[in-house]
Structure 1
C-alpha cells in the first residue's frame, strides 16, 4: 500500500466519496487510519468492518458500530469489544463462553456485567488462563469463591482484584483458613522440581523467566503476595509483616501503599535498595518527619522522587531544588501551592525554586511578568511558554538571554505570527525553534518554509495547514517518505491532487 494513501486516509479534508474509495481497497493498516477519522459515517464504518475484520474491533470500542452491525459468531472480537464496553447483548456472552478459541473466552472473562450463568461457565473453564482472567476482574462474591481454587495462578489473580474482600486478601497473604494450592502453571507443564531457564530454547514456551516450582508453587505464591501487597483493598495489618521480607519485590510493593504506617515507613527508609526508598519518598502517606529524613538520602534519585511527593514541605523542596536532573515538569507540590505560597516562591532567593514555580501556567499576571523579567535564564526559560505574555516581553526575553530561551519563546501558544517569523531567522539558527514553529498554530507560510530546512521540523511542517498548497504538492515526492505522507495528510492539499493520488 502506497504511503501517500495512508496520509490521505488521515487527511481531515478528504471528501466522503474519496474515503469510500479508500475503504474499498483498505488493508489492515489503512483501515486503522480510516477508523480514526472523526467524520467517518455509520455506513462507512460498517463497510470498513466488513472489509477488514480487525477494524471492527476499534470501531466497536469507539461506538461507531452498534449491536445491530455485529454478528458474534462471524465477528467475535468486535462483539467482545462491545461487551467490554457494557454495550453488548447477554446472548453474545453465552455464545462466546462456549467459543473454542481460548483467547476469546479469556477476553470475555474480563468483560464487566456478565450474566451470572456465564460467570459460572467461565469459572469452570477447562483452561486455567480463562479462570485466572475471570478472577482478576470478577465481583467480590466470585473472587471470594475463586480464592480457594486449587490452582495457584487463579488465587494470584484474585489477589490483584481490587473487588476482592479485605478478609480474603488477608487470607491469601497468610494462608490461614485455606488449603494449600494443588497446582500452578509451572508444574502443570514441567516435572518438578523445575526452574525455567531465562534463555529457554523452546520457541513456543511462555513461562516467565525464572518461573519455578518445587512442589510448593513458590514462584506463583510469591507473585500472589506481591499482588496482594499492591492491592489497596488488602488490610494494613496483613501487610506490615513484609517490611523486612528478604524479597525485594515484596518490600518494593509495600513502600508505595497509601496506608503505610509511620513505623513501617521508618523501617523501609533504611532499606538497602534505592528503588524501595524512592517509592517510599514519593508516597503521599509518609509524614513530614520521614520526608526530612529522606531529603538527606545518599542516593540523588531518592531525593528527586521526594520532590515529586505532593505533600513535601516547601522548605524541604527548596533544599532539593538544586539536585542534578530535577524533573523539568510541574511538580505536584508546586501545582497545589496556595496564593500566599505562590507569592513567597516568586520571591525566593533560590533561582531553582523560581524556575519550578514558573512551570505553572495559571500564575497571576503580575507574578508571571516578574518571572519573565527574572535575571536568571533558567527561570525565564521556564516561564516563556506561559500564556498571556506580550510579544514585547517575549522579544525582550530573547534579547536578554538569546539561544538559552528562544525555543521556549517559540513554544508560547500566543506568540504572534510576526514573532515566529523573526525567531526562524535568528542567527545563529536554533533547530529547536524550527521544531516548535513547525507545530505552532500561528505559524505563517514564510516561517513554515524556513522549517523545511531542518530534517525533523520538515516532517511536521509538511502537515501544517498554513503551508502553501503548491509546496504541499511538491513535498509529495520528497525523498523522506514521512515528509511525503505528512504532506498527503495536509488539509491544504488541493482536491484535484487528492483525486489524482487515488488508485
Structure 2
C-alpha cells in the first residue's frame, strides 16, 4: 500500500485537497515513528513518501512549513527544490536548511556570520562551500580549527582575497584544494606550480599522521586509513605538491607560461593535464603530440587550440585512437574530416565540426559518395529540409538510422525507412518526435519484440494504449509505460495490484489515474485497521 502512496505523492494530477490529506497522514505517521527518537530518514516508504511530497511545486506555505518542521533533511530538500524561504525557518533550529538557502543565494547574510562559529564542524564545513559569503564569515572559516572546513573553503570561495591568502596556507592540503579554485589570482596559481615567492608548506596529510619518510602502501590493509593512493612524504610533502601542480594545470586561471614550464615534466599526469589546456603555444602542443603516453596524445588531438598544421600532421601520422579524438576537433578542415570519416569509427555522435557546419557545407557533405560521411551529417537535428529528406531516402541503412529521429519527417518517410531497412532502423524511427501512434503500434507489435523499440515507445508522447501494453512486457520499459497518460484505464487500474512494487508505484503516479481511485487509495490508508508505515 505504501508504495502506491509514494506514486500518488509524485502524481502531477493529484488534486490539492488530496495532496493536503496525504501530507497530513504522512506527517501523522512520521510523528508516531520518527519524533521520539529524532532519527534521520531511514529510506523506507514513509521517508520516500515525505520526500515525494516535498518535491511537489504546488504546496502551500503552511504545507512547506509543516514539512520543514518534520526533519532537517526534509527542510534541506525543500530549500533546494525552491519552495522553502528564509521566512520559513529558524537557522538555530534548522542550521542545515539555512546553509542550503545560503547555498542557493536565498538565505540572509547574517546567517553566515552566526553559522561560521556554529559548534558542529559539519555545519561550518557545509557553509564553507556557499557562494557570496560575507567577508567576516569567510575570514572566520579560513581560520577554522578544523582542517576540513578550511579545505572546503579553499575549494569554493569566490573571494579573490581569501583565495590568495589560502594559496599561502601552511598546510599543503589547503593549497591542493585552492589550486582547483578559479578565483585564485593568476600570480598565486603560478607560484603553486613553480614555488617562486611561496613559503614552503609545513605539513600535509601524510606527515600529520605518519613518521616520515613514509610511502603509502597502495594495497593498504587498514580499513580506516584515509591517505590517498600514492601518498608520500619525506618532509617535502611530495605527493601533495605533485597534486597541487596537477590541479593548477587544470585551472584555466593559471598563466599559460607557468603551465608550459611543465611540458617536460617526468609525470605523465602533469603532461596529460597540460595537453588539455587551450592556451599554450603551438610548439608545446607539437611536443606533447609525440608523448609516449597515448592518453596525452589523444588529449592533444581533441584540443580545440591546436592549429591546422598540427591537425593535418596528426591526421596523417597518428594511431587510430588519436585520429578518433581528432575527429572531435571543432575546427577540423572538411577535407580532413572526410578522410577521418572513411578510416576512423567515431560512433553515433554529433561531431563538433558537423554541429558548426554551414548550410552550404552540409549540402556538400550530404552529397558525399561515402556513407560514413553522410552518416555524420545525419546526426544533426536541425538540417535544412532538402538535406534531411535526401538522407531519409539514402540507400545506406546506417545513414537512415542516424537521420530517423530528425523532427519534421513525414509518416510516409518514416514508413518508407521501416519498409526498406527493417529492424535496423525501428528503434530510431520510434524515437522520432513526429512518429504517429499508428506506426508506433505497428513497431510495438513486431515479432520478435525489439527491446530498444519498446523503451522508446514507452516514453513517446504519441504512444497508443495498445503499444504501451506491449511495452509492459519489457523490464526496462514497463515503468515508463505504466506512467504514460495514454495507457487505458482498465490496464492502469490492474497495475496498481501488481506484485512489482516499482511498477505499481509508477501506475499510481500516472496523471490519468481517476481522482476517485486516488481518493480511495488514501482513504484505505487512513482507515482504522489498515497497516500503517513502520520504521
Which TM-score tier does this pair reach, normalised by the shorter chain?
over 0.9
Say yes or no: does 1:330 pair with 2:350.
yes
Aligned to 1:205: 225
Which structure 2 residues correspond to residues 364-379 of structure 1 after superposition, within 5 A? 364-379=384-399
Counterpart among 384, 404, 418 of residue 404 in structure 2: 384
- Cα-to-partner distance string for 1:71-120 (whole Å, 9 max, x where unaligned): 11211111111111222112211221111222211221121221221121
Counterpart among 213, 221, 226 of residue 246 in structure 2: 226
Aligned to 2:17: 17
Distance 2:91 2:480 in 1: 41
Say yes or no: does 1:67 pair with 2:107.
no
Counterpart among 170, 186, 196 of residue 206 in structure 2: 186
Q: How many angstroms does 1:126 deviate by?
A: 0.8
Distance 2:128 2:491 in 1: 52
Q: How many angstroms does 1:461 deviate by?
A: 0.8
Aligned to 1:30: 49
Is there any run of 5+ residues in structure 2 with no aligned partner, and where? Answer: 28-45, 526-535
Q: How many angstroms does 1:214 deviate by?
A: 1.4
Q: How many angstroms does 1:131 deviate by?
A: 1.5
Greater alpha carbon shift after TM alignment, 424-433 vs 308-317? 424-433
Residues 207 and 102 of structure 1, relative CA distance in 2, 3 Å threshold: farther
Q: How many angstroms does 1:58 deviate by?
A: 2.2
Aligned to 2:101: 82
Task: State the TM-score, normalized to the length of structure 1.
Answer: 0.96
Give the secondary structure class of the aligned counterpart of 1:14: coil
Q: How many angstroms does 1:394 deviate by?
A: 0.8
Give the secondary structure class of the aligned counterpart of 1:328: coil
Which structure 2 residues correspond to residues 251-400 of structure 1 after superposition, within 5 A? 251-296=271-316, 298-322=318-342, 325-400=345-420
Distance 2:502 2:408 in 1: 35
Q: Extract structure 1 runs of 4+ deviating beyond 6 A.
A: none
Q: Which has the higher contact order (CA 8 A, sep 6+)?
A: 2
Give the secondary structure class of the aligned counterpart of 2:422: helix
Q: How many angstroms does 1:3 deviate by?
A: 2.2
Counterpart among 138, 149, 152 of residue 119 in structure 1: 138
Greater alpha carbon shift after TM alignment, 490-499 vs 463-472? 490-499
Counterpart among 76, 95, 100 of residue 119 in structure 2: 100
Q: How many angstroms does 1:322 deviate by?
A: 4.1
- Cα-to-partner distance string for 1:472-498 (whole Å, 9 max, x where unaligned): 110122233221121111112222322
Matched pairs, number: 503
Task: State the TM-score, normalized to the length of structure 2.
Answer: 0.90
- Cα-to-partner distance string for 1:396-421 (whole Å, 9 max, x where unaligned): 11111111111111111011122212
Is there any run of 5+ residues in structure 1 with no aligned partner, and where? Answer: none
Residues 28 and 209 of structure 1, relative CA distance in 2, 3 Å threshold: farther
- Cα-to-partner distance string for 1:358-380 (whole Å, 9 max, x where unaligned): 11111111111111000100011
Aligned to 2:69: 50
CA RMSD of aligned residues (A): 1.8
Contact 1:4 1:484 in 2 (8 A): yes
